Amino acid sequence: MKVRVTGDALKDLQDSYDFYEKQEKGLGSYFRRCIEQDLQGLRNTGGIHRQMRGYHHVKSKIFNSIFYYRIEQQTVVVMAILDGRIDPTTRDRVLTQRG
């Protein structure tokens, strides 16, 4: 299966990169490498994860990020990459806006 990351999800990724890089130099790069590996894993596992509000969701293996995605014509379309600690009301609002 192919994996496509939307512009909104790329912005989420950049925001998280910036956050981790401010915590410690080089941590943002490590975060990005881990997330890229997780995204590659979705090529094989896309579609098997639980659904919530119309999105499949799966947690990153290393970081506290959660991928929210849909399957469209044999492609995993990542709509959001959000911090798992985000307020549920905020998460639901973001997912509704992107839906």
Q: Residue 98's pLDDT band (boundaries 50, 70, 90)? A: very high
Q: Residue 69's pLDDT band (boundaries 50, 70, 90)? A: very high
Q: Give per-residue pLDDT as tens, 11-41.
A: 999 999 999 999 999 999 999 999 999 999 9
Strands across the sheet containing 51-52: 2-5, 75-83, 65-72, 55-59, 51-52
- Going along the chain from its start, the domains and CATH numbers come out as 2-98 (3.30.2310.20)
Residues 6+ apart with CB under 8 A from 54: 70, 95, 99
Question: Is the pTM value of this prediction over 0.75?
Answer: yes
Structural contact between residues 21 and 27, judged by C-beta atoms closer than 8 angstroms:
yes
For residue 85, what are the CA distances in angstroms to 1, 28, 44, 67?
A: 29, 18, 26, 13
